Structure 1
């Protein structure tokens, strides 16, 4: 680099040094491109796809780090062309860039390592959905907390290279009591959610892809960040909920222990409903429902309630998850209503009206429109329906 600088001694004093630094950075960039593109193609490394994947994800950081090292090497050879103040500022800027690049490279490498671990857990425990989601929740939440903490530490370490920032940090440390009080009051919600994220990662009231009921909506946990949770509803809407909500409010978690659920279907039918025949219908139709889990221990058809007009029939059946449960309930309802309509339509609910007279001895009128004929209390047995023409029938 000193020889290269000598080629440009005929230029004004700072320019040869700047040219040397830029030239060193360009050589480092070229070398970094060769390194990141050639290493994955080496014969011995082609059989290790993990090497190529890591280099592909870290390519930008590797190149930037080599450029900083190249510029630092050029600065050493070109130091005679700068004044002491300018040289000191350039050294601190390169040191700051180097610290930040190394710090964020470590954060990126940590993210890649945890992602590969989660992928391996997903392959190993493919049948254990709870374990996979628990590990994913813990790693994602704790990883974000560690990334934030390490990122703040990296930026603080890089900025303390400058004397003015270093003096400011010492001043803040000296007045730590007042500063911590002000920062604590202003950042209380953010800090509270950050601590809530650590609690959720440890206790796990919610996990990734858990199905929760929030504000009356079904929603799946799509993403758990350091301070909030992104929840996805069935119609692709998103809820953004602070983490502290799940520690301070009750909520329903339908998949905390298992994704399997039991769906309920209610039918309101007439009192003349033959329950044994309904159970036969259910047993015949359930085998044609593709979303049924096949467990007959959770299959039932019972009279759940009754009122003055109808009885309530509850049908329950198991499904593998919430999506299957909803489709299963709709399928059972459609099939049972079709069988009832086609084979026993007389049990479809209907209103019953009794027509009575306006006095104790009064009779219903017209009798032909009453079925069965109404008899006021205390008047004995009901008269037999008349066989002659109806009183409303006009004479012929």
Structure 2
């Protein structure tokens, strides 16, 4: 403090007060940034090659530490600067507001670091990733909701340091009624999605990387924010759905309990098709495929129509993408085998022609009954 006092009185005494104030605070901020850069240069070198917690801590706290050092160095500069009483009061208020926002910033950083440390234990890219998806979904939703709440509380606390805002808030509470109703209606959609996010985190009807069918589209949950869900459609499109949709409307979740799925292949053949041979070939195709998990296999006649019969093949796979590919492989190879080995089993249209006695050709061919197949 004595350094600032002497420098202001002796070195800058000939300058106007506003210039001295600018130089004093400029030097304080520059010195704070210099100290910050020196400290974090050493911390970065120490954190290299260390565990994730230390690296994240050094990376995330760089901004808040710089702001904290600026406030720390401004204090002695403000004590010696030629400030008027009103300027001193305004500066103290500014530092108070900055400190409140700084605390909110630090709280969000603590949450981010905790989330990264917690989630590094789970591998979401593994095939059996139900537990990992559960923790990732809960953590990300709670993190985003908590971040929003911390931001709101920090801004509200900063605004309440102003007398005008505090008096307005007290008057709103005293009037209690119309203003609250209006505010509630205005924020209805936002609040609905925030509460839906909390409910999703607790009940988890969807998780990160779940395979869903929403509005007739199949895709995977790519991201869950505090207000909406991003679904990655199979053709790389993205569907944006509000969180409240998954609380209010029905949808299909193919990986709710586990990632395994049973794929269905429907084939329509002639009534004379040898079902046992086709069943044996379908099993052979499944057993030779790297996509089949060795679980479910079944072939059965599930419908018998006027012109064809329906054969349903059931095969299981570890996850939805593999199940889709397995269905395609089964369909392609089974149809190719039927065409090559038993083409007569493919669907046919039958017509029966009967020549009545007494007509031309009946004498040569009495009781002729011909079948034309096409």
Structure 2 length as normaliser, TM-score?
0.90
Q: 1:10 aligns with which of 14, 26, 40?
A: 14
Say what the alpha-carbon RMSD is for the aligned residues: 2.6
Does the aligned pair in 2 maintain the 1:356–1:362 contact within 8 Å? no
Q: Is the 8 A contact 2:53 2:113 kept in 1?
A: no
- Residues 108-136 of structure 1 show CA distances to partners (whole Å, capped at 9, x for unaligned) of 2211211210112449x968622222222
The equivalent residue for 2:142 is 142
Name the stretch that deviates more: 54-63 or 7-16: 54-63
Offset at residue 256 of structure 1 (A):
0.4
Tell me the secondary structure at the aligned position of residue 287 of structure 1. helix
Structure 1 unmatched ranges of 5 or more: 374-380, 386-396
**Distance (Å, rounded) in 2 between the aligned partners of 1:33 and 1:347:** 79
1:155 corresponds to: 155
Structure 2 match to 1:337: 335
Name the CA shift for 1:21/1:132 in 2 (closer, same or farther; >3 Å): same
Partners of 1:367 and 1:312 in 2: CA distance = 43
State the Cα distance separating 1:291 from its structure 2 match: 1.3
CA distance in 2, matches of 1:95, 1:367: 116
Cα distance change, pair 252–84 in 1 and its aligned pair in 2 (3 A)? same
Distance, in Å, in 2 between the alignment partners of 1:362 and 1:330 is 55
In structure 2, runs of 5+ residues without a counterpart are none
CA distance in 2, matches of 1:152, 1:223: 23
Specify whether residues 290 and 127 from structure 1 end up closer, same or farther in structure 2 by C-alpha distance, changes over 3 A only. closer
- C-alpha displacement at 1:364, in angstroms? 9.5
2:90 aligned with 1:92, yes or no?
A: no
Large movers: runs of 4+ above 6 Å: 362-368
* Alpha-carbon offset, residue 189 of structure 1: 1.8
> Within 5 Å, which residues of 2 pair with 1:216-255?
216-255=216-255
SS of the counterpart of 2:86? helix
- The aligned residue for residue 302 of structure 1 is 300
C-alpha displacement at 1:330, in angstroms?
Answer: 0.5
Mapped partners of 1:241, 1:137: distance in 2:
16
Corresponding residue of 1:210: 210
1:56 aligns with 2:54: no
Q: Between Structure 1 and Structure 2, whose CA radius of gyration is higher? A: 1
Match of 1:25 among 24, 29, 41: 29
Q: Note closer, same or farther for the CA distance 1:157–1:89 as it changes in structure 2 (3 Å cut).
A: same
Q: Are the aligned partners of 1:356 and 1:364 in contact in 2 as well (CA < 8 Å)?
A: no
Contact 2:300 2:311 in 1 (8 A): yes
Determine the C-alpha separation between the residues in 2 that align with 1:275 and 1:167. 83
Deviates more, 1:254-263 or 1:279-288: 279-288
Question: Which range is displaced more, 348-357 or 263-272?
Answer: 348-357
1:309 CA drift (Å): 0.8
Cα distance between partner residues in 1 of 2:174 and 2:358: 101
Q: Structure 2 vs 1, CA of residues 4 and 288 (structure 1 numbering), >3 Å: closer, same or farther?
A: farther
| 1:366, distance to aligned residue in structure 2 (A) | 10
Q: Distance in 2 between matches of 1:364 and 1:113?
A: 95
By how many angstroms is 1:65 displaced? 2.3
Q: Is the 8 A contact 1:306 1:312 kept in 2?
A: yes
Cα offset for 1:188?
1.5
**Are 1:116 and 2:117 an aligned pair?**
yes
- Structure 2 CA distance for partners of 1:25 and 1:187, relative to 1, 3 Å: same
TM-score relative to the length of structure 1: 0.85
Question: Does the CA-based 8 Å contact 2:353-2:369 persist in structure 1?
Answer: no
